[in-house]
Chains A and B, each alone.
Chain A
Amino acid sequence: MFKSIVLVKQVPDTANITGKVMKDDGTVNRSMLPAIFNYEDKVALEFALQIKDTYGGKVIAITMGPARAADILRECLFMGADEVYAISDRKFAGADTLATSYVLSEAIKKIGDYDFIFAGRQAIDGDTAQVGPQTAEKLEIPQITYAEEILGIKDGKIKIKKKIDGGYEIVQCKMPVLITVLKGAAEPRPFQAKRIMAYKGAKTLTELEKLTEGNSLLYVDTMKHEYEERNLFIETYSADDLKVDESRCGIKGSPTKVHKVESVVLSGGSKELIEPTRDGMGILIDKLLEDRIF
């Protein structure tokens, strides 16, 4: 029986960025981008679910993000997570990886004991691959990054095949441990029809408030109670719930600042056009000879 906590992030779909998404000042208009479940985090969840399938236990998914990030928590439930938590507060906004890992580590401490923490290797927006290791350091636990395969769990130790530059390592580590997984490590299971039916109505408090807009607070409370009874209430942790040091959260707690952002404009037009003919090729080769390339 093992308990796993999985870190999941909602990300803008950077592969589908179009011109319109860039504002005139060159910054990214995040609201224009479709928000998706960071793929490697799905793989991380799959790892945790496989451990549960084999050894029994529990899988908990958490995300720090704005209200709409609850979408991916529902998707975690569709895949098979037992419990999910939204970590959300205005005070968390604008976090760099240091502040993100601080809040995540405090949320993990509140959730309690665990054997494994799984994370994606990196999120496709910030692309830093820093949040996993930074969280492990704050929890004072070891880490295995770039995991490719779980080879087994025995005597309180997990054995993992992990990528290194130019090859791989087989490592063994005492639990609890944080593991970051690579894209190809496992195929995330599809959403299960039964679980979609069961959990598609799961809601956070913010979502319930929206639903009951205009009604009395009392009504929200009744709704919340009802959702809890039906196991459809998604708990949200705020800065107050986590009793975090606010100077270490969000933009305040982030040492890295974006000083300037430029959108990359790709334009055509070479210095010199060469005809796609035999003569053209002759000219090209002469030029390269002149350039001392050949």
Chain B
Amino acid sequence: MHKNEVWVFVEQRNGKPADVSFELLSKGRKLADSMKGVLKAIVIGHDVKGIATETFKYGANEAILVDHPDLKLFRTMPYTRIMNDLIKQHNPRIILFGATVYGRDLAPRVASNTKSGLTADCTDLKISDVKYLGKDYPQLLLQIRPAFGGNIVATIITPDVHVQMATVREGVMEMHPCEKPFPVKITEVAYKPIDIDGILEVIEQHVEESKVNLKGAPIIVAGGYGLGSKENFKLLHDLAHVIGGEVAGSRAAVDAGFIGSERQVGQTGVTVRPKLYIAVGISGAIQHRAGMQEAKKIIAINTDPDAPIFGVSHYGIVGDAAQVIPLLIETYKHKLK
């Protein structure tokens, strides 16, 4: 009979693996271990054997590789069919997808075809025995996700179907290479194009390497709507410059035009885990906290002593940003230069 198989769909864009896929492999490894199962990486693309090999660094027991020139770019129809066929053949217990544009295009179709449950945007995944409506279900996947605009956190289970599927955003799980990787075992599966695969053509593709690397920044100075103006936001750039950090913002700050959307932190922006996160004039809405609460140290600067951001911060300063930031810069320069 089938073992408890955990699968990760490994997304590649132009032959480069997406970070989120390796993050999911790291998580998948833990899930597989806690149910004595195996972790398999599903790699689809062209000339992507290198990626299949790389998955072992993050804990894969086996990689299933579907490599064909027609699969170079992601296209819904062939990718869906490949996944559907593989699932019907192997009947895995869990499948994880990145909650990327492609992942959210593919996963629902696959779930629809295989009649699986699919939980979107999970912020945590665990294996646990569950008692549901008086029945015992051993080793279910607990899929924890925010809902209703982040006002509630729901634990979703799919007790009565075999395949449990979930999507997870980039940055939510931690990527960590294995100390003792399993030996590389790549199983190639052939792909035969059929007519409907070509029904959609990708005529052009434009991808810009993002110049901002918030995820990699050790220090982030983030500003919110409370800064009031683009000019005040300049103070944050000064501070970031002096202490060696990147500037980011809340969605309200982005919406107000204080800062570009590529620098938005939170549920619908980037998830970061820097050494230090300074939140200035940010109230600390759940959607914002979702993107920064894993930072090692958090400083909040806010005029409102009851602002929820103080609930996740290690150091709190109740005060006006326009006065506090210059003081901080000055003191830092004085002490460290």
Contacts and interface: CB of A to CB of B under 8 A. Distances in A.
Interface SS of chain A:
mixed
Contacts, number: 261
B305 interface: yes
A256 to B, nearest CB: 4
Given A280-B317, A285-B332, A129 B120 contact: yes
Name the residue among B107, B116, B146, B156 with the largest chain A CB count within 10 angstroms. Answer: B156
Interface in A143-202: 143-146, 159, 163-174, 177
A280 B299 CA distance: 13
Contacts of B199: 142, 173-174
A218 interface: no
A20 interface: no
Interface string B222-254: 000000000000000000000100000000000
Contacts of A284: 299, 315, 317, 328
Interface stretch (B30-38, B47-55, B88-96, B98-106): B98-106
- Range for the number of chain A residues in contact with chain B: 35 or more
Nearest to A15: B149
Contact of A171 (B102, B201, B207, B313): B201
Contact of A164 (B101, B159, B285): B101
Contacts of A126: 120, 147
Contacts of A124: 149
A172 B154 CA distance: 38
A244 interface: no
A268 B306 contact: yes
A264 B152 contact: yes
A263 to B, nearest CB: 5
14 contacts: A17-B149, A28-B152, A125-B147, A125-B148, A138-B112, A165-B100, A166-B209, A257-B156, A260-B155, A264-B286, A267-B311, A280-B317, A284-B328, A285-B332
Given A133-B106, A142-B77, 20 more contacts: A14-B151, A97-B111, A98-B111, A98-B112, A130-B107, A133-B112, A143-B76, A144-B200, A170-B202, A261-B153, A262-B153, A268-B308, A270-B314, A270-B315, A271-B314, A274-B316, A278-B327, A278-B330, A278-B331, A294-B336
Interface of B: 13, 18, 76-77, 80, 100-102, 104-109, 111-113, 115-121, 130, 132, 142-143, 146-161, 196, 199-210, 219, 243, 275-276, 284-286, 289, 296-297, 299-300, 305-308, 310-311, 313-320, 323-324, 327-328, 330-332, 335-336
Interface of A: 12, 14-15, 17, 21-22, 26-28, 96-98, 101, 124-138, 142-146, 159, 163-174, 177, 254-264, 266-278, 280-282, 284-288, 291, 293-294
